[in-house]
Structure 1
C-alpha cells in the first residue's frame, strides 16, 4: 500500500497511480498522482494496463542524460564556485556564517518539498524517481537538466529576493552545501555500514518511504519537516 506504479492507459499515455489498498468489498483503490483523483477499479471506465514492476516509464532524452553519484555533485560544486565569486566582501564573519547556516537549514525544506510534490507528482520526474525506488542499491542518477535547473534556482532566487549587495551568495552556498550533503548521505543510506545514531535512524526513516509507504518519510537529512507536515512514519512519532 502506498506504492506508485506506472500505468498505461488505452490512449497509450503513461500515468503514475498510487495503490491505496483494498476496501471491505475487495476493490482496489488508486490515486492518480497527476490529477490528485482517488478512485476504485470498478469506477474506471476505460482500459488500462499495469506495467510490469521495475519497468521504467517512457522518458524523454533530457531525463536519460544523467550523472551517477559522485559525478552528480559536479554541478552543485560548480554552483558553490559561482557563489564564492560573488561573495560579499564587506559583510562580517558572523553575518556570513548565519546566512550560510540559514541556507543549509532552508535546503532541508526545499528537499522535502521537491521530494514530496515534484518527485512524486510531476512527470517525467516521477518516472525517473520510480526507477530509484525499484533499484535502490544502484548508484543514484541525477538528470543533468534537473541538476542544472536546481543550481540556477538556488543561485538566482536568493539574489533576486535579497539583491546583489546582500548575503545572497552565502545563503545560496548553504543551499548548495545542503544539496551536496543530501546526495552524499542519500547514497550512503543505500549501501554502507552505518555507525552512530543519526545515520542509522535516517536509514530506518528512509527505508519506511522505500519499502512500507511512499506517502510518508520524504526527508533525507532530517525528519523535522515530516513531523511538521504529518508525513512522519508511525514508528518515529513518539520519539
Structure 2
C-alpha cells in the first residue's frame, strides 16, 4: 500500500512506519495478513519484548489480584452474598467498558502521523495481523497503568468496603475478556455457543469491521444498534 510515495516495508519494524500512510492508513490497516507469525514492532529488543505477551500470563498475573481485592471487602465486613453481587456488578460494568473502548477508542479514525502510530499500537496491529498469538492480549504493564484511574474512580463513587470487591469483579471481567479473545482466534470451539461467538468475532475482523464490537457477548451491540446483519439479510437488500 502506497500513500504519499510511502510504502510500508513488512520486513522492517512497523510502528514508526505506519504513521507515514496518512489518510491511507485506515484502508491499509483493515487489509488483514493472516499469519501466526507476527511482525516486528521496534528495533529495540526491550520495547519489542513489552509488546509480546503469552495468553496465560493474564490469569496468572491478575487472578491473584482479583482474589486479594475481594478478600479486602470480606475482611472489611461485607458478607458473601453482597460480595457476590458486587463481583457480578463489576463484571457487568466491564462488559460495557469492553464495548465502549472497542467501539469509540479502538476504532477511532486517524490520519496524522502520531494518530496512526498510536492507533496501530493500541488496536490497528490486531486488525492487520489478527492471528498474531503474542499480541492478542493486553500487556500487563499497560493494564497496571490503566487500573490506577479505574480504582480511583470506583473509590470516589463507592464506599471503602465495596470498592475492592467491585474492582475485583471488573478485573475478573477483563481477565475473562482477554482469555476469551485469545480463544476466539486460536481455539477450536466444539459447543454451539462458543462456535457462534467465534464466528461473530471473526465476522468483525474479516467482513463488517464497523459493527460487532462485543467480544464476550453481543449484548451491547444489540442495545446500541451495532449488531451486524447476516449475509442472508444483506443479499435481500
* TM superposition score normalised by structure 1: 0.69
**Aligned equivalents of 1:153, 1:146: Cα separation in 2:** 12
Pick aligned residue for 1:69 from 55, 60, 70:
55
Greater fraction of residues in strand: 1
Contact kept? 2:73, 2:83, Cα under 8 Å: no
Q: Is 2:171 aligned against 1:184?
A: no
Contiguous gaps of at least 5 residues in structure 1? 20-49
Aligned to 1:38: none
Higher-helix-fraction structure: 2
Change in 2 beyond 3 A, CA 1:53/1:135:
closer
Q: Which residue of 94, 97, 104 maps to 1:110?
A: 97
Name 2:229's counterpart in structure 1. 234
Could you tell me how far apart the structure 2 residues matched to 1:123 and 1:78 are?
Answer: 35
Could you report, residue by residue, the CA deviation over 1:186-239 in whole angstroms, capped at 9, with x for unpaired residues? 111112221222211111110111001211111011101111112111129x9x
- Compute the displacement of 1:76 (Å): 2.8
Write the distance in 2 (CA, Å) between the matches of 1:187 and 1:221. 11
Q: What is the CA-CA distance between 1:88 and the residue it aligns to?
A: 3.8
- Whether contact under 8 Å (1:88, 1:169) holds in the other structure is no
Deviations 1:39-69 (A, max 9, x none): xxxxxxxxxxx68975979779797413231
SS where residue 78 of structure 2 aligns? coil
The answer to which of 79-88 and 52-61 deviates more is: 52-61
Any idea what the Cα deviations from partners look like across 1:54-108, whole Å, max 9, x if unmatched? 5979779797413231224444335325414532431222211111111111111
Query: Given the alignment of the two structures, is residue 83 of structure 1 paired with residue 69 of structure 2, yes or no?
Result: yes
TM-score by length of 2: 0.70
58-67 vs 113-122, which deviates more? Answer: 58-67
Aligned pairs, how many?
A: 201
The one of 205, 214, 217 aligned to 1:222: 217
Higher-RCO chain (CA-CA 8 Å, sequence separation at least 6): 2
CA RMSD of aligned residues (A): 3.4
Distance of 1:217 and 1:200 partners within structure 2: 15
Runs of 5+ consecutive residues of structure 2 not aligned to the other structure: 7-16, 109-114
Q: How does 1:162-173 map to 2 (within 5 A)?
A: 162-164=158-160, 166-173=161-168
